[in-house]
Homo-oligomer: A and B are copies of this chain.
Amino acid sequence: MPLHLDTSSPDFAERFTAFLGTKREVSEDVTRAVAEIIAEVRARGDAALIDYSRRFDRIDLAEAGIRVTEAEIDAAMAAADPKTLEALTLAHERIRAHHARQLPSGGRYVDALGVELGHRWTPVDAVGLYVPGGTAAYPSSVLMNAVPARVAGVGRLAMVVPAPDGVLNPLVLAAARLAGVDEVYRIGGAQAVAALAYGTPTVAPVAKIVGPGNAYVAAAKRQVFGTVGIDMIAGPSEVLVIADGEQNPDWIAADLLAQAEHDTAAQSILFTDSPALASAVEAAVERQLATLPRRDIASASWAEFGLIVHLTALAEAPALVDRIAPEHLEILTADCEELAAQIRHAGAIFLGAHTPEAIGDYVGGSNHVLPTARSARFSSGLGVLDFMKRTSILKCGPEQLRALGPAAIAIGEAEGLGAHARSVAIRLNL
């Protein structure tokens, strides 16, 4: 049974706040273990990768090779179901086309004093892409992480993916090929993050690491941050559906379950002003669970973290949604555009009854790597800008320096930075 909250209850505010504070992940403290793994990889390079892979993935990389060969990727492409490959190719093309529109333009301008200001965007030279192994190895995630990097103009794209018991998901390799990944290594965990950050004889270091992973991977990214850039730390996924009474409960139930099936820590939330719809959705969830392949996961997520908020009016939704700042927000109401315009914090908004989140997960073209766990309050989904950086440019001539110099000297002196002041004064013969 999901939690039910009613905005008209006297204790709603208190219970909603308590709900926001619910932890969905057990935070394992792996800081020290990860620090040790990183130190080992820095000290012993490939030998450490081989040791850890033997221990954690039960694979002998001295034999299998740390790097996945082109022949292995060729074989994965050949083995892939043509229909799936065609779908991934469509997804790739749509993701590429959408992200191409995110390419920023630099520019320079001259202000009223004649000072030239501007900036220039350039791609990161080399990027590492972490792909989880096992059940969470999704080809769509490879596309979503690799394509924006490629569009940004990243020169070298290296992917790491653990091969537990030697097994790699062939579709992950196929997606890497489609997306133009340059190198694939069958390593995972904190050791793979360390290899990407510091390099080993086999794995050249990168400048930025992106992609989701378990607690060890997240802790490793946190620890190498600064030496390399990292993307956000991903948590379990969530969806919030706002629906009015006119919607199809079966569709909404399917959308809630599509989120819940990811992980027992995933979260599916329904906001509605229609008690009848709420009941119908709950019944539909139970019905659909019965025939769902991942019903154990989905039903645990729904029972433990599911939420139905009963609204007196849909107008109550925006303020509550902003407090949750959901990763995914579906709005299935007659006035979905008006509601969307009032919401400030969400990773992605899916408008109308014919835009299930799964379209955005796969083939819409927008990115499915989105801020989780309320971080849409301060961060954005993955995009081309995450693989570029801005260099600012400033140019003064003698006149501009004369105009601005005295103020710079005054501030330098006030801050006790005499050489700052002098570097200006000396040019003005002051």
Give residues in A with beta carbon < 8 Å to B.
Answer: 31, 81, 83-84, 86-88, 90-91, 97-98, 101, 109, 111, 115-117, 119, 122, 124-125, 135, 138-140, 171, 207-208, 222, 225-226, 228-229, 232-233, 235, 250-251, 254-255, 257-258, 260-262, 288, 292-294, 298, 340, 343-367, 370-371, 373, 375-381, 383, 385, 389-398, 400-401, 404-408, 410-412, 414-424, 426-427
Give min CB distance, A174 to chain B, whole Å.
Answer: 10
**CB <8 Å contact, B349 and A250:** no
Question: Contacts A401-B359, A404-B359 hold; do A416 and B251 have CB atoms under 8 A apart?
Answer: no
Which of B348, B363, B417 lies in contact with A392, CB distance below 8 A?
B348
Q: Which residues of B contact A426 (CB under 8 A)?
A: 250-251, 254
Q: Which residues of B contact A427 (CB under 8 A)?
A: 251, 353-354, 356
In the complex the two chains form, what is the Cα distance from A411 to B80 in whole Å? 12
Q: Is the interface of A mostly helix, strand, loop or mixed?
A: mixed
**CB <8 Å contact, A365 and B117:** yes
Name 26 A/B residue pairs within 8 A (Cβ), A-sorted: A81-B414, A84-B411, A91-B407, A97-B111, A117-B364, A124-B377, A125-B377, A139-B414, A171-B415, A207-B377, A229-B378, A229-B379, A254-B426, A262-B417, A351-B394, A354-B401, A358-B420, A358-B421, A359-B404, A362-B408, A362-B412, A362-B420, A363-B408, A364-B396, A366-B394, A380-B390
**CB <8 Å contact, B394 and A360:** yes
**CB <8 Å contact, B419 and A294:** yes
**CB <8 Å contact, B91 and A420:** no
**CB <8 Å contact, B393 and A348:** yes
**CB <8 Å contact, A405 and B122:** no
Give min CB distance, A146 to chain B, whole Å.
Answer: 15
**CB <8 Å contact, A351 and B395:** yes
